Structure 1
Amino acid sequence: MVVSRRAARDGATPTRSRLRASRPAPGPRSRAYVAGVKAALTVLSFGLAAAVGALAAGSVVMARKVVTPARRLPDTRILALDTAAQTITLSRTADTELPGRYGLFTTGTSDYVKLGSVLSEDAASVKRKLLTHVGSDARLEPDAAFSGWYFDRPEQLHLPFTPELIGSTVGPCPAWLFPAGDGETWVIQVHGRGTTRAECLRAVPVFHGLGITSLVVSYRNDGEAPRSRTGTYALGDTEWRDVDAAVGFARRRGARRIIVMGWSMGGAIALQLSLNSAHGDVIAGLILESPVVDWRVVLHFHARAERVPGAVSRFAISALQSEWAAPLARTGGAIDLDRLDVVARAAELRHPILILHSDDDGFVPSDASHGLALARPDLVELQVFEVARHTKLWNYDQERWSDSIRSWLERQGLTAG
């Protein structure tokens, strides 16, 4: 049926206002229901915002922790000191119970002492022989930090050395140079995260005995080399440039073949150097001790160990790779974890590699080292240790550790003869 406009105006059909007027007015229950729904939605919105905010905040804290240069923290306690017997008793941990030779950072009348073999132990403590003489008037504070360094100063090696400065884009980076042999084969040693170049001193005698000159270097933000603009680590993504400057230094001093040895994060730096350096033609090989080969493996391991929720750790890893999070995490820019994943980039490798890693590392899992060895069996040799902890393979089994390096160098034709 067709209704004229006039008829519509005269009421032939209901108008919208009449339709609205015909609906019953909401009663008190309807108004209360609507108000309750609005209140619930408001609470849910605030709750969701708070949850997202907490997730973001926790993730940024984790991301910032990863890139912030670590301070040495106490990880054991001195329970007793017997200066007559030259022994020290420490609280028992996965590190302090290990056989071998180690070091202990202390406070009081000594700042560092060397430790020998385990003399006795029980469920809570470990007594070890002191290899640094401690006088009868010594006073050591209870809090201490167990270390694999053993040597903490270059003079302790009783080898000729000179202090050097390596010119890098961030400024002069201190180094120690231990000349040996004819000066044509060098090893450049790169320490790990939260430590300094003294970590590498253990390896110098092995190379010196083979006629290989050692250059033990520092890099940006490690507490000895200059600070970058952000003062934070890039997990190897920029630090390799300081080591590349050291390669150039070695070439100018007559080096024709250069081995790069990286410890822990120094392994990540060495790998990036191998992949990116313009001096690749003189790099003869890499030796990696307890190395970081893929940062995601390490970050997930620590997140699980510290019971960080999976969502937080995933968001933190994403934040490390994001420009938006850089000001909050203080990274100075996105860190490309894909570029630092050398298992995924294994096909790009061109230098022979010796990896020394313990399956009981406890800090940097050996999974990625195994993965790299499987991906490039033509280039990568993996020496698997057990029991030994992170960067403490020399301490636990010095003979096997040294023999592994010597035999690999001989097979590569890198010894003095």
Structure 2
Amino acid sequence: MVDSRRAAMRAPSPALLAGVRAALAVLSAALGLTLSALAVVSLRVARRVVTPAVRTPDTRILALDTGAQTITLGRTADTELPGRYGLFTSGTESYFKLGSVLAEDATSVKRKLLTQIGAQTRISADAAFSGWYYDHPEELHIPFTSELIGSAVGPCPAWLFPAGDGQVWVIQVHGRGTTRAECLRAVPVFDSQGITTLVVSYRNDGDAPRSRAGTYALGATEWRDVDAAVGFARRHGARRILLMGWSMGGAIALQLELNSAHRDALAGLILESPVVDWRIVLGHQAKLLRLPAAVTGLAIGALQTEWATPMTGAGAAIPFDRLDVVARAAELRHPILILHSDDDEFVPSHASHDLVVARPDLVEMPVFEVARHTKLWNYDQERWSDSIRGWLARQGLTGA
């Protein structure tokens, strides 16, 4: 009888069992909702990564003095930078060149206007700060022609700046969410060295034709359009070809280095604020947005899975392993100059440093600081240009 009473005391009551079941049901539902929310956010992140970006306002115009030719902007990490920059806005003028900082306080920065504006100028208060500086090739006052490069998706527009004897070329590749104008800053330094410059476009960038999906592959397919430009250069007399990639353009250039049938004609790469490993970039961006690490992992998992492409919008699974150039460093053949600021807020320089460690025999990377993403030329044009000229001389790549 004692044992039966003890057994009865140990047995949970029906009420307790019902409470436990209810609690488990609530926890299960909450877990399901959490996982569902993570999945939804992750798919949104994945779709955003591959969707061509549009320029969005990030700067507030506080005052415009047409008499003194100055502009006052809300203070940000970009607007306070020394150097020359550009500003996109809307109104009677859509683009301004900005000069040095004239005055600043805790909330504002006054800069010199390098674009002459009149008293009747009307602009929006919302603007986008840019490192482009040159907006059209005519502004360089260097002879050029407009070309069309045949590719698998159709004709891709390009600008050709002939120089020297035409045997050494550099093909410039712009980054994500920008167009060819981003590359114009570098044309004069190559022109001064007798190197012909070809500034190209690629699928889904707003200049070149659209692919069927209309989304980025982060370099996994875009490199083929630039490879067609390498073929164009060879047919027009190029004997030694450099690749220069800006941001995602760096990832594209690296894929050419690893995959191109024209590797025998390549002479080296110059990478400006490059994406060397997309996983590092996406993880960094998630931290900036204060997203859980799980979101990044799920987003990458979705992007590299074929069955998820209808949900991510990607045209095909993205091969992140193939895009990790640090892991593939042993396959590199040509010398590489990396220009990357350790204060890059968008594409951290970690993977660039890792590539130097992995291939010190091929990769050079002078240390830059303060300058932000793709703004090294703007911040310190002299040192940036000297770094390129010195590297070209060491590689014997100046044109005649």
TM-score (norm 1): 0.91
Q: How far 1:313 sits from its partner (Å)?
A: 1.7
Q: Which of 254, 273, 277 in structure 1 is aligned with 2:260? A: 277
Report what 2:8 is aligned to.
none
User: For residues 192-227 of structure 1, what are the alpha-carbon distances to aligned partners after superposition, in whole Å with 9 as ceiling and x for unaligned?
Assistant: 001000000000011111111100000011111111
From 243, 246, 258, the equivalent of 1:263 is: 246
Q: Partner amino acid for 2:212? A: R
Q: After superposition, give the CA deviation of every residue in 1:208-247 in whole Å (9 maximum; x if it has no partner).
A: 1111110000001111111111111111111100000000
Q: Indicate whether 1:307 and 2:294 are aligned.
A: no
RMSD: 1.2
How far is 1:48 from its partner?
Answer: 2.5
Map 1:37-186 → 2, pairs under 5 A: 37-186=20-169
Map Cα deviations across residues 308-367 of structure 1 (whole Å, 9 max, x no partner).
011112211221211222111111221111111111111110011000010011111011
2:310 is matched by which residue type in structure 1? Answer: P
Alignment of 1:375-386 (within 5 A): 375-386=358-369
Larger radius of gyration: 1
**Which amino acid is the alignment partner of residue 401 of structure 1?**
W
Conserved in 1, the CA contact under 8 Å of 2:167 and 2:399?
no
| Distance of 2:16 and 2:184 partners within structure 1 | 74
Once residues 51 and 396 of structure 1 are traced to their aligned partners in structure 2, the CA distance between those partners, rounded to angstroms, is 44
Structure 2: which amino acid aligns with 1:339?
A: R
Matched AA of 1:271:
L
Q: What one-letter code is carried by the residue in structure 1 that aligns with 2:195?
A: I
Q: What is the aligned partner in structure 2 of residue 373 from structure 1?
A: 356
Q: What is the DSSP-based 3-state SS (H/G/I as helix, E as strand, rest coil) of the residue aligned with 1:339?
A: helix
Counterpart for residue 200 of structure 1? 183
Aligned to 2:273: 290
| Aligned with 1:231 (options 214, 238, 249) | 214
Per the alignment, residue 320 of structure 1 pairs with 303
By how many angstroms is 1:46 displaced? 2.5
Among candidates 236, 245, 253, match of residue 228 of structure 2: 245
Task: Say which of 317, 335, 339 aligns to 1:352.
Answer: 335
Flag structure 2 segments of 5+ consecutive residues without an equivalent.
Answer: 1-11
Q: Percent sequence identity over matched residues?
A: 76
Q: Aligned residue for 1:343?
A: 326
In the alignment, the residues of structure 1 paired with residue 101 and residue 22 of structure 2 have an alpha-carbon distance, to the nearest angstrom, of 66
- Paired with 2:87 and 2:194, the residues of 1 have a C-alpha distance of 31
Where does residue 332 of structure 1 map in the other structure? Answer: 315
Aligned length: 389
